[in-house]
Amino acid sequence: MTSTPETPLGVVGVVDAVTAQLRGRILSGEIRSGDPLTEAAVSQSFGVARPSAKAAIEQLVASGLLVRTAHRSARVVGIDPETVRDVYRTRTRLESAALRDLAATRTVPRAALEANAEILAMPSGPDPATVDPDLRFHTALIDALDSERTGRMYRSVLDEVRLCMAQVQGRRLLDAAAIAAQHADILAAVASGDGERAAALLDAHLSSAEERLVEALDAD
């Protein structure tokens, strides 16, 4: 991004662009947990005005990827066992409720089927490439409720979810074929109208990823 004057109408676009690029660098591990992000550094790196750099940083603080304490620079959030457990349990609460509602009408989201088909087509074994379709599978369960507020609530933790998932697959902890098989079982339970079974399968599915990541972090 070149250093050009920002017009009032272009500020929002500039902020969103910088936010997206910073988010990508954080999720890819290029900017690591604990690394500081100052307004001056972001402004210089992206060639944008300090207010735009500040706004981009604040968006990432709001999404949970950055943390800021009083009189300190924002830093990339640390992924520790406590964070992992809270993120996964928050997901489980929201997604379990979604599955029970979907099972009541035997609604199987097409987007979830399509995302899982992508995972199923991947070679067997752990693969960081599963993160994107895996996340789309789970997001499709929420979106199928067609509830703006539930979707907004879920997306409020989505960056932290992606960060945890990237850590799981970056460490090659879960097999793509196993993920696809578990997803298929969850959708089959929804299709049969068994919401409790679908929720139980989801809990086992997410708990497996949670425990493996926690064990890996403890080992580190």
Domain boundaries, given as residue ranges, for the chain: 8-76, 81-219
What pLDDT sits at residue 90? 94
| Residues 137-163 pLDDT 10s | 999 999 999 999 999 999 888 888 888
To the nearest whole number, what is the mean pLDDT of the chain?
A: 86
Residue 174's SS3 state is coil
Q: Which helix (H) or strand (E) holds 179?
A: helix 176-191
pLDDT tens-digit map of 148-201: 999 999 988 888 888 887 776 666 667 889 999 999 999 999 999 999 999 999
Range 8-76 has CATH code 1.10.10.10: yes
The CA distances from residue 165 to 26, 48, 71, 140, in Å, are 13, 31, 31, 16
Burial 79-116 (b: 16+ CB within 10 A, else e): beeebbeebbebbbebbbbbbebbbeeeebbeebeebb
CA angle 130, 184, 191 (to 5 degrees): 140
> Which CATH fold would you assign to the domain 81-219?
Four Helix Bundle (Hemerythrin (Met), subunit A) (1.20.120)
pTM of the model: 0.75
186: closest CA among 206, 212, 167? 206
Predicted local distance difference test score (pLDDT) of residue 169: 60
Each residue of 104-137: pLDDT tens digit?
999 999 999 999 999 999 987 767 788 889 999 9
Residue 75 corresponds to which tokens in the numbers above? 């830093």
Give the gyration radius of the chain's Cα atoms.
19
**pLDDT score of 36 more than 90:** no
